[in-house]
Amino acid sequence: MKEKLQDFFKNRKRLILTLIFGPAVASLIIGCVAGLADPRDALYIGIVCMCLAYPVVLLIINIVALVWAVRFPEKLLPGTYEAKLFGIMDLVTVIIGTILTIFYAAILSASIDLQWKAVWSEQLHNREVHQPIWTGALPTVIALLTIGVIGYIVLLTRKMSDTPPLITVLCMGAMYIGIIEILLFMVQIFKVTPFEGLAYSSNSIPLFGLAPLMELPFCLISMAARLILRKIYEWNQEEEHQADIYGGEGFIADLNGILENSFTWPIAAIIAMLPLLGIILGILSLFGQYPDHVIRAWTETAQWNLSKMKAPPNVQYDEHYLCTVAAGGHDRVVKPIRMGERHGHRIVVNRQLLIANAFEQILEEKTPKMHRAIREFYDTHGYPIARHIKTKTAADMVYFIMKPLEWMFLLVLYLTDPAPENRIAVQYMPVREQE
C-alpha cells in the first residue's frame, strides 16, 4: 500500500493538487450537503467548513511530520521522498493556512463581535469584545514575528556543510523570538470562561470559536521544530567539522569552535536570542516602539487571559429596533445625550430615541389598538432590517432616514401632551428617577 501511494505521488503536480484541493473539495461537499435545507446558505456553509476543516488537516499532517522527524530524522534529509512531501506541505500550510485563518478571523469577528481595532478603553456594545493584541504595540509584534520568519528562511536555505555554527545558532535564536510571540498569542486567546462586561449574559465557552485560530500557530511551531531537528541531524552526518573552514578570527572563531557540538545549539540559541532581541528593540525604539511594548502588546488589553486593564462595561442597544441601532452611530452625527436603562441594561440614548419612545408611549395611552397594530408591524419588518446594521456608518444612515419620522413624532407629542419635553426627558430612566 505504501509503495502504491509513493508511486501515485511521485508526480509532483499530482501531489500538490491533491494536498491543496483535496481538503478544499471535501469541505465544500460537506457544506453543500449541510446546506440542502437552505440552498442559499450552501456556499457560505461550505466556506466555513473549509476554514474549519482544512486547518485541521494541516494540523494533523504537521503533528505526524513532527513525530516522524523525532523518530526518523534521516527521512527528512534533503533529497528524500519525505523531505519533498513535507516541504510541499509546509508551503501549503503557510499560504493556504494563512488565507483561511484570515477568512475565519473575519467570520469570527461577525459571529462573536470580536473588535480587532477596539482598544481596552473604548466603549463597546452588546456582546462586542475588545482586541486581543494592543494595536499600539502591533508594529513590535509584527517585527518580532518577521525576525522569526527571516531566521527560518535563512536556516532552511543554507547547507550545513558550509554554514558556520554561529549563524545557525543566531537563526535558531531568531526563530525562538517568533515562537515566543506565537505562544503568547495562543495563551492570550485560550479563553475558556465567558467574556466579562458584556451587555448580554452568556454561558458559552469562547474557546470553541477561538480554537481554529490556534491551529496555524501550532503548525508554524511544528515547522520550526522540525527544521531545528533536521539541521542538527544534517550537521552530525558530516564526518569532520573544522572551525577554520567557516572563516572568522579571534572571538568569532572561538565561538564556532565551541558550537561544533550541535547538541548545544538549542540551549545556545536561547543565549543568542537575548542580545538579538535587545538589538531589535533598540532599533524599534527609534520608531516610537519602546521595549516595554513587548509585554504591553498583551497586557494593555481587556477581557483576555494576559490582560491587565479593566474595560468599561458594554452598553446595550437593541438590535431589533432602528432608533436604538441609530443611537449607536458616530457621536458627532447621532449626538448621544446620556446613558439610559432598558430591560435592566445600560444603553446609549439620543434625542431621536427619546422622542420615538415617548411617541410610542402616547400611542399606547391614547390608542392602544393602533399601538398594538403598529408594534406588530414594526416587530415583523423592523428587525430583519435592523439586524443587518453592524457598523457605525450604517447606524448614521439609519439616523438620517429616521429624521422625518422624528419630526412627525415630535409634532404629535406637542399636539397631544401638555408637557412634551418632560415626557421626552424621562424616557429610559429608572422608575425611581422618573418619579
Nine cell digits for residue 65 = 511530520
CA distance 49 to 28: 7
One-letter amino acid identity for 73? P
Query: With pLDDT > 70 as the criterion, what percentage of the chain qualifies?
Result: 72
Checking if the pLDDT of 324 tops 80, the result is no
338 φ/ψ angles, rounded to the nearest 5 degrees: -165, 180
Checking if the pLDDT of 249 tops 80, the result is no
- Reported as half-sphere exposure (CB side, CA atoms, 13 A), residue 19 has a value of 26
Checking if the pLDDT of 244 tops 70, the result is no
- Give pTM, 2 decimals: 0.72
Average pLDDT over residues 103-117: 79
Checking if the pLDDT of 239 tops 80, the result is no
Residue corresponding to grid cell 522527524: 69
Average pLDDT over residues 88-111: 82
pLDDT score at 152: 93
Dihedral sign from CA coordinates of 18, 24, 29, 34: positive
pLDDT score at 255: 60
Q: Which residue has the higher pLDDT, 426 or 135?
A: 135
Task: Determine which helix (DSSP H) or strand (DSSP E) holds 350, and give its type and residue range.
Answer: strand 345-350
Average pLDDT over residues 179-208: 83
pLDDT score at 12: 57
Q: Quote the Cα angle for 283-284-289, to 5°.
A: 150
Domain boundaries of the chain, sorted by first residue: 1-111, 130-314, 322-434
pLDDT score at 146: 94
Average pLDDT over residues 176-199: 88
pLDDT score at 318: 57
Confidence of residue 343 (pLDDT cuts 50, 70, 90): low
The mean of the pLDDT values for the chain is 78
CA distance 337 to 346: 13
316 φ/ψ angles, rounded to the nearest 5 degrees: -100, 135
Q: Report helix, strand or coil for 286.
A: coil
Checking if the pLDDT of 184 tops 90, the result is yes
Confidence of residue 175 (pLDDT cuts 50, 70, 90): very high
Average pLDDT over residues 352-368: 83
Checking if the pLDDT of 289 tops 80, the result is yes
Most confident range (mean pLDDT) of 177-186, 241-250, 339-348, 357-366 is 177-186
Q: Which residue has the higher pLDDT, 192 or 346?
A: 192
Average pLDDT over residues 210-237: 87
